Amino acid sequence: MSTIAETLKRLKKSSFRAKFHLSQKDKEYVNEKGMDTVRRHCTDFVRERLAPAFIANDGKQTPMRGHPVFIAQHACACCCRGCLKKWYNVEKGTVLTEIQQKKIVDLLMAWIEEQMNT
């Protein structure tokens, strides 16, 4: 099991994942709403869009812009079940456990926090 720091380091080695960054508008949103609110949004997005065993539009459920969490999901390969399988060996067709969901949220929030400091 990798730590969050190890996972973020591994993701940065992917040219596709490394191209994602929070825009100034995204950073302003985070500053305006606060990290607690963004974490709640993140938790909701993961629970509703990623955790179900079967997602009707899997692979297309996470927009490429519109919310800092969406950007984080693409940067961290937590945008769809296919990416979860490829990067983290999380099987498709199974409901994500509460622990898995929490780990994903923690990773996404760590990426956002890192981006807020750049």
How much is the average pLDDT of 15-29? 97
Of the candidates 6, 117, 8, 10, the one whose C-alpha atom is nearest the C-alpha of residue 72 is 8
For residue 75, the number of C-alpha atoms closer than 13 Å in the C-beta half-sphere is 24
pLDDT per residue over 34-64, tens digit each? 999 999 999 999 999 999 999 888 878 888 8
Q: What is the pLDDT of residues 59-117, one digit of tens each?
A: 788 888 899 999 999 999 999 999 999 999 999 999 999 999 999 999 999 999 999 99
> d(Cα 44, Cα 110) in Å, to the nearest integer?
17
CA distance 101 to 13: 24
Q: Under a CB-based contact definition with an 8 Å cutoff, are residues 47 and 101 in contact?
A: yes
The Cβ-side half-sphere exposure at 36, using a 13 Å CA radius, reads 0
- The residues, any chain, with a CB within 8 Å of residue 89's CB and separated by 6 or more, are none
| Residue 59, pLDDT score | 77
Q: What is the pTM of this model?
A: 0.94
CB-side neighbour CA atoms (13 Å) of 42 = 29
What are the residues whose beta carbons fall under 8 Å from the beta carbon of 43, sequence distance 6 or more?
A: 101, 105
